[in-house]
């Protein structure tokens, strides 16, 4: 093997590892956002991020939006429960 062959293999390995790392980080992103924002369904958002990894990231934008959506506070129901 020549030095050029070794360099080509090194470049290939680095590209493969960096691709895997980016895909994993993108799959983890909705769950991290949901946990940081104290989302009530943070675990479901995190699972949704990983499920989209296996579905080809088709629904990934929906899961990311879900991580940012705040659940409205039901003040009327809370007031009734407090009585």
How distant is the alpha carbon of residue 45 from its chain centre? 8
User: Which sequence spans correspond to the domains of the chain?
Assistant: 3-71
Task: Output the pLDDT for position 27.
Answer: 95
Two tokens at 45? Answer: 């958002």
Which pLDDT does position 67 carry in this prediction?
Answer: 95
* The pair of three-digit structure tokens given for residue 59, joined into one six-digit string: 């629904």
Secondary structure class of 45 (helix, strand, coil):
helix
Give 12-68 pLDDT, tens digit per residue. 999 999 999 999 999 999 999 999 999 999 999 999 999 998 898 899 999 999 999
* Pairwise pLDDT comparison (78 vs 14), residue with the higher score: 14
Distance CA 70, CA 34 (A): 10
Q: Could you give the 3-state DSSP secondary structure of residue 2? A: coil
Can you tell me the distance from the alpha carbon of 74 to that of 64, in angstroms, rounded to the nearest whole number? 23
Which pTM does this prediction carry?
Answer: 0.76
């Amino acid at each position: 093997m020549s030095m050029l062959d070794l360099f080509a293999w090194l470049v290939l390995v680095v590209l493969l590892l960096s691709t895997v790392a980016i895909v994993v980080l993108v799959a983890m992103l909705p769950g991290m956002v949901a946990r940081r924002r104290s989302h009530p369904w943070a675990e479901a958002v995190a699972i949704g991020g990983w499920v989209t990894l296996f579905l080809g990231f088709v629904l990934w934008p929906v899961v990311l939006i879900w991580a940012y959506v705040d659940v409205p506070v039901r003040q009327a129901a809370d007031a009734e429960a407090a009585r």
